[in-house]
Chains A and B, each alone.
Chain A
Amino acid sequence: MLEKTLTALITVLAGIGAALLLYWVLNKISELLPEKYEERLKPWFYILPAYLAIAIFVIYPAVQTFIYSFKTKVGFPAETWTGLDNYSNLLSSDAFRQTLLNTLLWILFVPVTVVILGLLVALLADRLATRGENAVKTLIFMPMAISMVGAATVWGLVYDYRPPGRPQVGILNGIVDALGGDPIAWLQENTLHFNSFLLMVMLLWMNVGFAMVLLSAAVKGVPTETLEAARIDGAGERQVYFRVVLPQIKGTIVTVFITVLIGVMKVFDIVFVMTNGNFNTNIIGNEFYLQFFNNNNQGAAAAIAVMLMLAVIPIMIYQVRTFRAEEAGR
């Protein structure tokens, strides 16, 4: 233990020391330049390490992944080019198409619902007295602080199933049982992707708090004069919300929506822990993990990652644009 603590301490000190040293050296180098260039180039010297880090840890792996997606047996002696095989094999398999469909359902359902629920809580809590508001917000924010796997344990108990006639451990089946019904195997029931939606509920539970905090701050930031002016002009409360408040927090709504959306596209742990994609609940993040770590099929895994990247890029561009437009408008 002591040894580990010491190691950690030394690592931290050495890391910070090295960073300080690096910037000191860069500073010295820039000072060696003629004064005219020094002022112009110094910012570049300072930002250089960050750009280097991005190049090494983001751009290089992304390019590498792209290349791997056209290969098979990556990392093995038999590594060869296979052209588009990884893509066509995936896209022609029924299981993968179901996986894509499930992912699409997640994308369509979760971000919108998170924003709506988050907004609802933010607006309603805003109406409460301070103490009530704080209590409500704390409760709703709390799941955010729980790790995904911890949440899965909690929800495992919610959806737990025992055969009819056995004592039910799960909350939902406990209720069903008390009402005299037969227990339902929640996570195994995949008619109309019912079980996928049950898994989505877990992500809602974890993300509504996040949305609420940001949206609530935005709602509070709306100048009261605009609300008063609207009311004086005879606007009803509903009109005040939809015509005055919402347009003023649109930027935050878009940010929350996109953050959750990108999170949903990458979601993995919930499905992995709860069903591992069985019972037709598979999604793209879990499929990537299976291909990479379970099947040792790095080519297919890379192809999935590339498809995911391609799907995320337009969203990111949109987000950056809105952000810039907003900054410009300020």
Chain B
Amino acid sequence: MLQRGTRRKMAATAAAATLALTAAACGGDDSSGSDDGGAVTIWMSLDATVVEGLQKQIDIAAKEAGIEVKIERVDGIDKLIKTKIQAGDTPDIALLPQPGVVASVVELGAAFPLDDVLDTASLEETMVAGALDAGKVDDELYGLLVSMNVKSLIFYPKKAFEEAGYAPPESLDELTELADQIKSDGGTPWCLTMESGDATGWVATDWMEDLVMRYGGVDAYNDWVTHDLPFTDPVVKEAAAYFEDVALTEGNVLGGQRSITATPFTEAAKPMFDEGKPGCWLLKQGSFFTGPDFLPEDVYANLDDELGVTAFPPVEAGGENPVMGGGDLAVLMNDSEDAKTAMNLLATADIGNDAAPVSSFLSPHTDFDTSLYPNETSKSIAQVAYDSTAFLFDGSDSMPAEVGAGSFWKEMTAWLNGDEDIDTALQNIDDSWPSS
């Protein structure tokens, strides 16, 4: 997931770049949307295939509504949008990759609230639970989730898993039991690797985020992301204790402790498909891991038969079941009637009908026609989000960069490498939170 690394880094450097010299970054496409009257322009940095699919659907819907909509694909919109706001050259609608970016656009006074633009009551019902909350800034809706990805997933080698008679766990305790069962059957339960060059650590922070939202619930998670709940809080320690149990218990991870920090994260899934018996059985990763870069060729070719996927389980079976993910939030930057109409088009489930079959696009609308997903795996992944009780964005992306892309990564890495204990690590992260 190199993409993720760069995206995070972009966010991190954004402020520095804006500060240094904004004009220099502008280059490239200078066509402005707002001033050519007719067409509504939408900027996004999604994959080209997704953009194409969305454009196809939006063309159909826009014709009916009597407007013209033009989607432009731009590079690194999270950084670009700030410089463009300062230059006064903004699109009518922008799809931004993180709630933090939405908040800073709102702070710059460049966004319009959506509460009166969209039919929020019915969206609340049909969208993934909590999807609207993710786009709120100070209790007003500014960002509308258009596409999503899911991170709270566990992958397993389907054939071997079923042959051994294992069942997907329904709770964290069952997950522990499953791991113990695998161990007593002579296997190694966890595929856990996290080396990622200068971004080493994000695999571990994803684990922590998933566990904090489970042990603490949605409110505690949101407080934790804004540091209203310190890293030394018992909830965070409870989460860390579970993770420690998974990662550092003798025999739990393929290759032992040193392999966690030393093996590239890209290699995690491959041992699951060893000849004969899986080298390890369970992998917690995001939906992007179903891509061809991370799986053996023959597995990728027969994804549905080979790769099993299930939700990272809640604390209690059937209890609060939040899911962590990411996505792109549409922000209204021009309050013309046409732009508002276009915003409403983006809020329909059908908008993804052409994008989903040909890409990794997942719709945040629970009434989306899931038969359009290209395979069962994508369908199951989307279902994990549709079944969840809350959709929460990756918290480290929203933390200040010195924590979210700094000390949080580094301290988790130092702890897992055996250089310090978890209490020291959590204390160090807490100390590194900027004072104001």
Contact = CB atoms under 8 A, between A and B. Distances in A.
Interface string A268-300: 000011111111100000000010111111100
Interface in B1-33: 12-13, 15-16, 19
Interface residue SS majority, chain A: loop
Contacts of B401: 294-296
Interface string B389-428: 0000000000001100110001001100101000000001
Contacts of A294: 12-13, 401-402, 405-406
Contacts of B414: 278-280
Interface in B210-264: 254-256, 258-259, 261-263
Interface in A154-186: 161-166, 185
B267 interface: yes
B433 to A, nearest CB: 11
B279 A165 contact: yes
A293 B16 contact: yes
Given A163-B255, A166-B255, A185-B258, A278 B402 contact: no
Interface in B197-212: 197-201
Contacts of B434: 297
B262 A161 contact: yes
A193 to B, nearest CB: 12
B371 interface: no
A188 interface: yes
A279 B419 contact: yes
Given A190-B419, A292-B16, A295-B406, A162 B413 contact: no
B254 A163 contact: yes
Contacts of B16: 292-293, 296, 298
Interface residues of B, number: 35
A75 interface: yes
A181 to B, nearest CB: 14
A247 B279 CA distance: 62
Contact of A185 (B197, B198, B262, B279): B262
Given A161-B263, A294-B406, A295-B402, A188 B200 contact: no
Nearest to B402: A295
Contacts of A188: 258, 261-262, 417
Contacts of A185: 258-259, 261-262
A6 interface: no
Chain B, interface SS category: helix
B405 A161 contact: no
A187 interface: yes
Contacts of A163: 193, 254-256, 259, 263, 271, 279
Contacts of A290: 406
Contact of B13 (A75, A280, A293): A293
Contacts of B263: 161-163
A297 B402 contact: yes
Interface centre among B200, B254, B263, B414, by most chain A C-beta atoms within 10 angstroms, is B263
A217 B193 CA distance: 49
B122 interface: no
A78 interface: yes
A293 B198 CA distance: 13
Contact of B279 (A166, A275, A293): A166
B426 to A, nearest CB: 15
Contacts of B258: 161, 185, 188
Nearest to A297: B402
B197 A276 contact: yes
B184 interface: no
B280 to A, nearest CB: 9
A277 B428 CA distance: 16
Contacts of B271: 163, 166
Given A161-B258, A161-B259, 15 more contacts: A75-B19, A78-B436, A161-B195, A161-B262, A161-B263, A162-B267, A185-B258, A188-B417, A190-B419, A278-B414, A279-B413, A290-B406, A293-B16, A294-B402, A297-B434
Interface of B: 12-13, 15-16, 19, 193, 195, 197-201, 254-256, 258-259, 261-263, 267, 271, 279, 401-402, 405-406, 410, 413-414, 417, 419, 428, 434, 436
Interface of A: 73, 75-76, 78, 95, 161-166, 185, 187-188, 190, 272-280, 290, 292-298
18 contacts: A76-B19, A78-B436, A161-B195, A161-B258, A163-B254, A163-B259, A166-B255, A185-B262, A273-B197, A276-B199, A277-B410, A279-B261, A280-B419, A292-B16, A295-B401, A296-B12, A296-B401, A297-B402
